[in-house]
Structures are given as C-alpha cells and as structure tokens.
Amino acid sequence: METYIGELRETSKALCAKGKGVLAADESTTTIGKRLASIDCENTEGARRALRELLFTTNGIERHVSGVIMVDETLRMKNSASTSSFVEILKQKGVLSGIKVDLGTEALPTSASELATNGLDGLGARCKEYYALGARFAKWRAVLKIDRSRGLPSALALRENANALARYATICQANGLVPIVEPEVLMEGTHDLAACRAATTRALEEVFAALRLHGARLDAMILKPNMVTPGSECVTEDASSLDSRVAFETVTCLLDVVPASVPGILFLSGGQSEEDATERLRLIVKVADDLRAPWTLSFSYGRALQSSCLKTWRGKDENIAPAQAALLARAAANSLAALGRP
C-alpha cells in the first residue's frame, strides 16, 4: 500500500474535484440489457459499445465528470472504429477510469432475505491487471435492506458487508486503485426517514470500524453512500418539506460517523428521479456548507445521469448528438448542484 500512497491520494483528490462527479457506467450485462430493452434495443456487444461510446465521447463531459466507473468488458473495449480504447479516450479528456470489481450478491446463508457481495477471491490479481489496463480507482457495492418488522438490516448483514468492504479497500490500495466504498441502504420499502437515518448510521459505523481494523487508508478512499430518504413506498412523510429534511438528515448523519480524513463523499442516486437526485444534492451541499462539513460532496450517478440520454438516443445513430446534449445538460445540472447552486 505504501508503494502507491502518494498516487492514491492524488487520485482521490482528482475524483473529488470541486463541482465534478463520477459517471457510473458499470451496469452488468443483465442490467444494461434491461436499459436497452426499454428503448427496444437488443442487448448485444455492439449495442453496449455504442451506448458507452456515446457517453464517453460527449464533448465537454470532462467539465462535469472526474471519473467513469466501468465493468470488465467496457474497460477492455475499443471504440467502434477500433482505434482507441475507452480508457485512452477518457484519459485524453483528463477523466479517470474506474472499474467495478465486485461480482454481485448472494443470499446470506443464515439470513436468506439479506445479501452479501462476492468477489474477494482473486481480487488482488484482478486489481493488478486493471491497474495495468489503465484503471485508477475501483468500486464495490454492498446492499442492505430495511424491514423494521423483521429487524433488518441484521447485525450479521451489517458486519459481513462491512468486513468485505474493508478487505476490498485494502486489496485495492495495495495494488494502486483508490477504493470507492459503497454501502447502499436501499430505498425499497415502507420505512420512514428516521428508519433510514438509523440504518444508515449503523451501516457507516460498521464500515468505518472495519476499515480501521483492516488498516485501510481513509485519506485514500472515497465513500459512496445513499442519501437518507424514506422508503419508496412510505406514505407517512410530508412531501412539502421532504427534500430539505432529506438534506439535513443526510448531512448530520454523515457528520456523526464519517471521519474528516475521508477526502470526498459521492452520493449514489439509489433509484431517485433525475430531478430529485439533483435537487437533493444541491440542498445537501448547502446544509454541509452551513455546518462546515470537512469533505467534498458530489455525485456518482448512473440512471440519474443517463436516463434522459438513453430515452433520447433510442439506439439510433441520428439521435447521438441530441442524446449527448441531454447527458451534458444533466451532468451540468449536477455540477451546479455539487456547488450548492440551482
């Protein structure tokens, strides 16, 4: 780890550049297939390449995006003309390439309704190869469910996922990759804002305890948490003041748990609409500024950056330019939000 510590810090700093965020283009083949199906496009390697090429070659995207998270297939891909890899295209723009290294989830053996994330076996060798291919950061997602009637998230799920995130982080750092640590408390359910705050606090406490225990460098990582929101099926929260309460609960939760040495926090959108993800980020940044939070706050969005772009493109070459304009507009709106501006 010490071999790379200077580089890791510089990469962390670059990823957290003020007013910039990270584009999450790390959908699995199955997930991107669902996105392509929504626009009546077949899930082929060519279609996946075309979509990623559209995203990565958007003129001006580098003004708003500091990094792009990819999957193994995309990291190894060249553009449709076979002249440049996507890593090279992004590097020319000054955008860092990242790689999703987890291998998906499986049921916890003694808590079948909860999930643990796979991918630690052979991770060191994969990280070494990804570094050689040009990746400079990585991502690992843990998934936690809220169900108060069943006592979820359970202590087992919290501990299991925190330890996996910590092991992932140290393996990445030992091989030159900045780890994006993503403990996601899902929006699915009927839970209220207070329940999400409690679960998010417990998750982050476990994660940082595990990171310290395993010897991870907190100054050379990025946190990618959920915002504190009510469940998508909650009917008890007052909608008129919800966005401002989401912002306050999110920032104060983070202040309670996240060390000041962490350089940046890049929020996931978690199934929120493009508009909600942007507006809530703006309010979060304003609250954080008022409370003098020590970290850079920004976004690491997938659907909340790509949705309008995808609908505009519809798999047709003649729609590439307007689709890129839609992506750029969404990225610009989130850049402003990351500065606390409308």
Closest CA to 12 of 170, 130, 138, 124: 138
Instruction: Output DSSP code: residue 294.
Output: S
Q: Which of 224, 249, 274, 279 is catalytic?
A: 224
Count Cα neighbours of 20 within 13 Å in the Cβ-side half-sphere. 20
Report the distance separating Cα 117 and Cα 268, nearest Å.
Answer: 17
Enumerate residues 6+ apart whose C-beta is below 8 A from 181: 140, 165, 168, 169, 207, 211, 221, 222, 223, 224
Give catalytic status of residue 206 as yes or no: no
Structure tokens that stand for 89 in this block: 């295209």
Task: Confirm whether 286 is a catalytic residue.
Answer: no
Gap between the Cα atoms of 64 and 336, Å rounded: 9
Identified catalytic residue from 160, 182, 206, 279 = 182
Q: What are phi and psi of 256, to 5 degrees?
A: -70, -30
- Catalytic residues, by residue number, are 182, 224
